[in-house]
Amino acid sequence: MATRTLSSLLRRWITSIDRVILFSVLAIVAIGIWVSMSSTPAIAMKLSLSPFHFVIHHIIITPVACLLMVFISFLQARHVRKLAAIGYVVCLVVIACTLLIGSEIKGARRWVSILGFSIQPSEFMKPILVVMTAWFIAEQYRDRRFPGILMSIVSLAIVIPLILIQPDIGMIIVMVATWIAQIFVSGVSITMMATFISSVICALVGIYFTFPHCADRVNRFLMGDSSDADSYQIRKSLDAFRSGGFFGKGPGEGEIKTLVPDAHSDFVFSVIGEEFGFLLCFAIIVLFVTIFARSIIRVIHSSSMFSFSAVFGIVFQICIQAVINICTALDVIPTKGMTLPFISYGGSSLLASAIGIGIVLSLTKRNSLMHEIL
């Protein structure tokens, strides 16, 4: 009886969610597993670990991420909001603890060990902030007296200093860019948007003069300085794309993964370009565009401002992160450590992206099934 009920529930779930979004994400996840088998062994051996240490870790985390995505997709909007509120408080506490007891890697204190796993709590804050902002915007849309935009500013302003101390400027840029995009599509006045954008520009100028490593990266990018380690990674990244050509050199045949320290994470797109060529690179871009376009199509006519803002914010966030990763590998923007969602090695990034897509699937499905479980 229980088996029949579960089977019936799963059938109705698969018919209620948007399968284009789901299968596009699963295709990217599969590519991530495939690429990890090629990109991580060289890194593991450099660290005197088993060649498949990172591959095994990635394969273990992937089904957990997929199950988390499926579970969240069953939730109704009110459950998503409640979980986001709880998650916001928990993440704030853990981020604060990370600054005190977290592991310092490459001069940044962003990771904390929980049950033997290294977790980057700020990754989980990204989709949570999107939901919180969408919630506040929706409440102000429903009742103009409610200070929704102000509350979203406060919730973002509480998080930014904690991440700035780590420091993780790229994370802040993604969060703020997503917040601005959500505010923009909510229909605020041009004057208010101009004020927000001007404030962000001033903040970026302040960051440039406050954090020397950020200024150095921008200066080297603008002047074409090729005398440092970051420029070395970029040169090898571009060599990888040139070497891979249209069809690639073949799985396992690339050289960049043995020369660049971050080939399995920040520069994984270069590994793909070298070993699998332009075809797979283009296919990955098409999949991200498909996820973004399909998600927007599903909610563009929604009567729920919360659903529209949350879905738009999450897919914008995932896609802007992908754009930053790809553009860094192609030397289009200054070097910035940023994972390629669902493909780069990193459990926190994979789990946080899965949470985001789970929310998208929940808010774009035809009907809610959660009441059948509760």
Question: Model confidence at 315, in pLDDT bands (50, 70, 90)?
Answer: very high
pTM: 0.89
Please report the pLDDT score of residue 371 as a whole number. Answer: 39
Domain residue extents for the chain:
19-365
Mean pLDDT estimate for the chain: 84
Span of 45-49, 57-61, 64-68, 298-302 with lowest mean pLDDT = 45-49
Residue 354 in 3-state DSSP?
helix
What is the DSSP secondary-structure string of 102-138? PEEETTEEEEEEETTEEE-HHHHHHHHHHHHHHHHHH
Residues 6+ apart with CB under 8 A from 132: 84, 85, 88, 152, 155
Q: How far apart, in whole angstroms, are the C-alpha atoms of residue 346 and residue 33?
A: 12
Please report the pLDDT score of residue 115 as a whole number. Answer: 66
Mean pLDDT for 334-342 is 83
- Number of Cβ atoms within 10 Å of the Cβ of 356: 27
Mean pLDDT for 281-288 is 95
